[in-house]
Amino acid sequence: MPAEIIDGVAIAAKVRARVAEETAELRKRGVTPGLTAVLVGDDPASGVYVASKERACKEAGMNGKSIRLPASTSEEALLLLIDTLNNDPTVHGILVQMPLPKQISEQKVIRRIAPTKDVDGFHPFNVGKLFTGDADGFAPCTPAGVQVMLEEAGVETAGKDAVIIGRSNIVGKPMAALLIQSGKNANCTVTICHSRTKDLLAHTRRADILIAAIGKPEMVTGDMVKPGAVVIDVGINRVDDPAAPKGYRIVGDVHFEQVSKVASRISPVPGGVGRMTIAMLLANTVRAARLTLEH
């Protein structure tokens, strides 16, 4: 029997509907959640992504603003802009689009954003809260979205073996931190695999929940998956395909055709995790706005 599809489009729509409801309630209390995205340079993909975030904010009734700076912008100028946004009470979330030009330190930028406005969840304070199980912080949007997808799909996580392929600070490590916590949609036994892992198949074949976030097109094949496992594909890769209308197609890190015949549930690419990232960014921003009323 083919795997049940975990529909990220539908789940993201539910999250965004809740965000819109919460935004309407906050507006009644005199606070309109505001997210400001900063884009340095003219990378086309980043530009499209920032524009989609701004549009999503407006659809939810939030204030969404984009600030575009030339690629020649100095590190000092960007840090001063972040200081201004930190001190602006109408801005509840700050997002600086990565990657940055080589003259700017990404770590300095991440550390300059106020932790209470770090809706990407990358500031060391928020990373520390995530790993220690402190719910006051913000979790990175993609792994947080994966956790919501598992919940919405009715996946029981407690006591399950979760194997994550990929150890990035954006997905792999925070995903492990979320799933290993004591609490709802967690309580997993977690293994992180990476480029130096020996006998990868031995790990993936015992996974009840397999999360692929390695950035290699269709790397996870059917023989790597335990029958009945839940598979979440975080990867978004462009591969050449002369037969496709655009000359390429978008695939994940999982070979969908093969793995969907083995797994019990699977998230597709596109239509899976990608939609959740922006939805969780909006959710974090609304939460940041709500916290201003509680302190």
Query: Annotated catalytic residue: which of 7, 43, 65, 97?
Result: 97
Query: Annotated catalytic residue: which of 118, 120, 208, 253?
Result: 120
Quote the CA–CA distance of 47 and 45 in Å, as a whole number: 5
> Taking a C-beta distance cutoff of 8 angstroms, is the pair 156, 209 a contact?
no
Query: Annotated catalytic residue: which of 53, 117, 160, 173?
Result: 53
Tell me, what DSSP letter sits at residue 291? H
Whose structure tokens read 């922006």?
278
Sign of CA dihedral 17, 22, 25, 31: negative
DSSP 17-86: HHHHHHHHHHHHTT---EEEEEEES--HHHHHHHHHHHHHHHHTT-EEEEEEE-TT--HHHHHHHHHHHH
Q: 270 preceded by cis ω (within 30°)? A: yes
Quote the CA–CA distance of 220 and 144 in Å, as a whole number: 22
Catalytic annotation on 53? Answer: yes
- Residue type, position 198, single letter: K
Whose structure tokens read 């954003």?
113
Catalytic annotation on 120? Answer: yes
- State the catalytic residues: 53, 97, 120
